[in-house]
Structure 1
């Protein structure tokens, strides 16, 4: 009989549980999760917000009533598809050879997902991590938490998140902070988590997902500002309020738009965050002066 292990992780103040056969070496497949793994003697208070089962069994669902919701992915290109069946969502990514396909079947609230593994040494760990991120990001919105596409600097227990499309210069701006501002350190470079805590405060957390930059810090700090970057020949900050603040933050949030309940929860979180935390747009050059201006503007508005 196949022996199943259960491994728990603490991410952004919530729990993630992964169940799989002992033949899966999660330490090797998911090295970025190491700092988030709970030890055997850890005291777990509460249930996981999502449970992920990894199996080598074949995906057996019929595609008869499947509705294609998306076939666009920045990461996986045309190898990706996202379907809806009457009772579940199904995420698929074609393997390297495109002769076999990875499937992930998820409950509608993503509280439980099953990943149907295929042997593909080139992408196995990367794809497993990505699928876990997808299910965690959706389930998190039911727990006052959103994953945000951002680069984050932490300094003296405070966090500064820089938003923007890929190629905008988020990582470059973070490097300018590190080079120009004493005590500035990178917290996460791609997918930090922002959470509204039970006391109403807003925190930003490191996660196991940091894009191409190996920065996987299990750390939480007080969020000071969310700043969308815009390449420009000058350095200038414009603060947003009301609907403009909401619309500045919303595009950077990692949650599906095709489920009304998930989107509504995400929108509520974004609304609450954008009323509590300064949201701005920084027109900037890739230089230290932009970093110093950004910090000065944040300190003045706070």
Structure 2
């Protein structure tokens, strides 16, 4: 994506991050203190991108961009995070993610133009960029989460606990108790720590092993660990007046995981990549559904049932 005119108007600096063994390259105006703006990315920063590593590129500009709106088709105006201030469009060559600032909170307007596989994006804002800016971090997450699907990697909605080199991920609808169940494991299952509480990344390696990674995005919990663990189990949680674990395989396992993975349903290439990744995962990782109460017994039952499933080599 070419932005030569804008690059000539202002000095651009570079900063690099590596998340789940995939690089983010951000070019930005020199007046921005990126270390302060993206403080949650600090543990992922690198001096240079390793040779051969996939790269997702971003250009950040402190101005608005004029678009010929008739060239774009509205695909979605639904966002849990941004409510009515969000729009997502498509043209023949690009996607446009638009967050429109409201006068009530005096927030800036943001536009992100991305190519069709999100490997290159240009982000424009007409307001000041403040430390820990939520909009910028969110836009980076959107593009990163779509583009990495081409590399057997995905961002997922999950809370993840880790012990040494292995990890367990808890899935479920918002309010189901993912964070609560993670806290129960930290309290009652010896040796576990929180890896990520909202948006970890999962990768299927060429040798078939499945790893889950901490990321700069962790919801309301400030847990930005640049660590990974071999994924031993996916557990979908369901609130109930009792504790009961049920294993899922095949199509049922796929359906248990699918709501927690995100790919544009309008983009056949990215959506197909996500389904292929899911099929590889369920062949190698235990998937269970835990109907449970938010108590100690639920955590211990879950841990016991994962250990008992010998086919997934849980140690």
Instruction: Decide: shared fold, TM above 0.5.
Output: yes
Q: Distance in 1 between the 2:34 and 2:130 partners? A: 16
Q: Distance in 2 between the 1:9 and 1:65 partners? A: 33
What SS does the aligned partner of 2:173 have? coil
1:230 to 211, 216, 238: 238
1:286 is the counterpart of 2:287: no
**Aligned partners of 1:49 and 1:139 also within 8 Å:** no
For structure 2, list consecutive stretches of 5 or more residues without a partner in the other structure: 1-8
* Cα separation, partners in 2 of 1:48 and 1:24, compared to 1, 3 Å: farther
1:21 to 22, 26, 29: 29
Q: Distance in 2 between the 1:208 and 1:20 partners? A: 19
Q: Distance in 1 between the 2:46 and 2:55 partners? A: 15
Q: Distance in 1 between the 2:51 and 2:16 partners? A: 12
For structure 1, list consecutive stretches of 5 or more residues without a partner in the other structure: none
What SS does the aligned partner of 1:64 have? helix
What SS does the aligned partner of 2:84 have? helix
Q: Distance in 2 between the 1:3 and 1:282 partners? A: 53
Residue 6 of structure 2 corresponds to: none
- 1:20-169 maps to which residues of 2 (within 5 A)? 20-39=28-47, 42=48, 44-97=50-103, 101-120=109-128, 125-169=133-177
2:193 to 185, 190, 193: 185
**Aligned partners of 2:76 and 2:88 also within 8 Å:** yes
**Aligned partners of 1:5 and 1:21 also within 8 Å:** yes
* Cα separation, partners in 2 of 1:249 and 1:60, compared to 1, 3 Å: same
Q: Distance in 2 between the 1:43 and 1:109 partners? A: 20
Q: CA deviation at 1:47?
A: 4.8
Q: Distance in 2 between the 1:258 and 1:222 partners? A: 32
1:263 is the counterpart of 2:297: no
* Cα separation, partners in 2 of 1:120 and 1:130, compared to 1, 3 Å: same
Q: Deviations over 1:208-250 (max 9, x none)?
A: 0000000000001100000100000111111111111011101
Q: Distance in 1 between the 2:277 and 2:67 partners? A: 34
Q: Quick check: 91-100 or 21-30, which moved more?
A: 91-100
Q: Distance in 1 between the 2:202 and 2:295 partners? A: 27
The number of residues matched between the two structures is 300
* Cα separation, partners in 2 of 1:124 and 1:151, compared to 1, 3 Å: closer
* Cα separation, partners in 2 of 1:113 and 1:29, compared to 1, 3 Å: same
State the superposition RMSD in angstroms: 1.6
Q: CA deviation at 1:48?
A: 4.1
What SS does the aligned partner of 2:46 have? coil
1:274 is the counterpart of 2:282: yes
Q: CA deviation at 1:4?
A: 0.9
Q: Distance in 1 between the 2:133 and 2:86 partners? A: 17
* Cα separation, partners in 2 of 1:116 and 1:43, compared to 1, 3 Å: closer
Q: Deviations over 1:72-113 (max 9, x none)?
A: 111111111100011100000111427852100000000001
What SS does the aligned partner of 1:256 have? coil
What SS does the aligned partner of 2:133 have? helix
**Aligned partners of 2:236 and 2:290 also within 8 Å:** yes
1:250 is the counterpart of 2:258: yes
**Aligned partners of 2:37 and 2:131 also within 8 Å:** no
